[in-house]
């Protein structure tokens, strides 16, 4: 069972739109306020990374159902420069833009599942899932 | 949506209540406005109330952290009030610590704390 909606990321306004979409979706799936904040924050981090490092891309929000469990899936994809060393960017504090370097490791901790697929010169797709408990 | 965050003055304390979601532009504007007001009003304390804020990402956290550090550089004490439980939890999970800053549960406690600090 799947139900998806998405936001194209071009400007910082789209970052706001993506996290509002995510929060509404999380709320309607039945996530509590703490998980709503986790999901909203994760979307914000991924959308801002697209905006900062790839220029443009897309955030998809899917309602997921698997193994008798409901959840929400965030798919952040772009055709930007890609990530040269995925291990490095998962370290707290690593940033190439003078940021806090908290986005990637933070999203991994905020969500239950986290997967990065990236190829230099091709782009990046990050999939993150939160399960409803 | 260029909405400036209002900055109120009470004695030698500046009070800011962040009422809506900050976007990048508003965040940077807020940083500048607050530091300018600190300078022109000779304020010694800053209270930033976050009660209505339901999430903080690393970008907003950086803006807040920078404001706190810049205010300290200018000799002002800063107190942050009203951080919601969900916000506190996600900030820690993001790995973000707001250092060099006093916190208080609500505006009233925050004002008390600042007052005591300024009299010391
Ligand atoms: N979608 C992306 N495309 C290319 N590089 C990325 C992408 N997302 C993250 N990165 C790289 O990973 C680094 C760490 O990202 P993050 O943890 O969000 O911290 P920050 O954004 O503060 O630098 C970034 O500085 C950037 O070099
Ligand atoms: Mg980031």
Give the pLDDT of residue B21.
Answer: 74
Q: Residue with the nearest Cα to atom 5 of ligand 1?
A: A83
Asked whether residue B27 is assigned to any structural domain, the reply reads yes
Rounded CA gap, A44 and B95, in Å? Answer: 16
What DSSP state is assigned to residue B29?
H
Q: At what angle do helices B85-94 and B58-73 cross, to 10 degrees?
A: 90
What is the total count of domains within chain A? 1
Gyration radius of chain B over CA positions: 13
Q: How much is the ipTM here?
A: 0.92
Ligand 1 center from residue A10 Cα (angstroms): 16
For chain B, strand residue ranges (E) read 7-10, 13-17, 45-49, 77-81, 102-104
- Residues A76, A57: contact at Cβ < 8 Å? yes
Give the pLDDT of residue A1.
Answer: 46
Residue B48: pLDDT above 70?
A: yes
What is the total count of domains within chain B? 1
Asked whether residue B57 is assigned to any structural domain, the reply reads yes
Q: Which of B101, B37, B93 is nearest to B69 (CA)?
A: B101
Give the pLDDT of residue A21.
Answer: 97
Rounded CA gap, A72 and A25, in Å? Answer: 8
Q: What is the pLDDT of residues B68-105, one digit of tens each?
A: 999 999 999 999 999 999 999 999 999 998 877 899 99
Question: Chain A closest CA to B72's CA: distance in Å?
Answer: 20
Output the domain CATH number for residue B36: 3.30.750.24
Tokens of B15: 């009070």
A38: chain B residues, CB-CB within 8 Å = 86, 89-90, 93
Give the pLDDT of residue B97.
Answer: 87
Q: Does the CB atom of residue A54 touch ligand 1 within 6 A?
A: yes
Provide the residue range defining the domain that includes B16: 7-119
Q: Is the model more confident about B99 or about B40?
A: B40
Q: Does the CB atom of residue A100 touch ligand 1 within 6 A?
A: yes
Kindly report the pTM of this predicted structure: 0.94
Provide the residue range defining the domain that includes A9: 4-131
Sheet of strand A123-131, all strands in order from the earlier edge strand to the far edge: A2-9, A57-66, A69-78, A123-131, A113-119
Asked whether residue B1 is assigned to any structural domain, the reply reads no
Q: In this structure, how many other beta carbons lie within 10 angstroms of the beta carbon of residue B70?
A: 15
Q: Is the model more confident about B63 or about A61?
A: A61
Q: Residue with the nearest Cα to atom 19 of ligand 1?
A: A101
> Is there a contact between B93 and A15 if contact means CB atoms under 8 Å apart?
no
Q: Is the model more confident about B60 or about A2?
A: B60
Per-residue pLDDT of chain A (133 residues; tens, 9 = 90+): 455 699 999 999 999 999 999 999 999 999 999 999 999 999 999 999 999 999 999 999 999 999 899 999 999 999 999 999 999 999 999 999 999 999 999 999 999 999 999 999 999 999 999 999 8
Burial of B48 (0-12, 13-18, 19+ CB in 10 A): buried
Q: Which residues of A lie closer than 8 Å to B, measured between beta carbons?
A: 12-13, 15-16, 19, 23, 33-34, 36-38, 40-41, 44-45, 48, 92, 99-100, 102-103, 105-106, 109-110
Antiparallel, parallel or unpaired: β A123-131 and A69-78 = antiparallel
Asked whether residue B2 is assigned to any structural domain, the reply reads no
Interior CA angle at A42 toward B105 and A72, to 5°? 110
Output the domain CATH number for residue A12: 3.30.565.10
Picking from B21, B89, B93, the nearest residue to A106 by CB comes out as B93
User: In this structure, what are the phi and psi dihedrals at residue B15, rounded to the nearest 5 degrees?
Assistant: -120, 125
Q: Does the CB atom of residue A6 touch ligand 1 within 6 A?
A: no
Question: Chain B closest CA to A54's CA: distance in Å?
Answer: 17
Q: Does the CB atom of residue A104 touch ligand 1 within 6 A?
A: yes
Give the pLDDT of residue A72.
Answer: 98
């Amino acid at each position: 069972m799947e139900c998806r909606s998405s936001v194209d990321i071009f400007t910082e306004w789209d970052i706001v739109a993506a996290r509002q979409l995510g929060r509404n979706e999380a709320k309607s799936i039945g996530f509590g306020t703490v998980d709503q904040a986790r999901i909203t924050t994760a979307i914000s981090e991924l959308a801002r990374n697209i905006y900062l490092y790839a220029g443009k891309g897309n955030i998809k929000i899917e309602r997921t159902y698997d193994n008798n469990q409901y959840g929400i899936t965030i798919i952040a994809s772009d055709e930007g420069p890609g990530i040269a060393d995925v291990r490095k960017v998962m370290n707290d504090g690593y940033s190439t833009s003078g940021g806090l370097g908290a986005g990637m490791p933070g999203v991994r901790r905020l969500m239950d599942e986290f997967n990065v697929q990236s190829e230099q010169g091709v782009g990046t797709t990050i999939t993150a899932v939160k399960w409803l408990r | 949506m260029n909405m400036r965050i209002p900055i109120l003055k009470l004695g030698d304390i500046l009070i800011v209540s962040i009422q809506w979601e900050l976007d990048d532009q508003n965040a940077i504007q807020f940083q500048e406005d607050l530091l300018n007001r600190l300078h022109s009003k000779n304020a010694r304390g800053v209270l930033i109330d976050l009660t209505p804020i339901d999430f903080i990402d690393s970008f907003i956290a950086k803006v807040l952290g920078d404001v706190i550090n810049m205010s300290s550089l200018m000799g002002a004490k800063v107190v942050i009030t009203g951080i919601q439980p969900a916000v506190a939890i996600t900030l820690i999970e993001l790995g973000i610590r707001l250092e060099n800053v006093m916190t208080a549960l609500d505006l009233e406690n925050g004002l008390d704390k600042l007052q005591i600090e300024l009299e010391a």
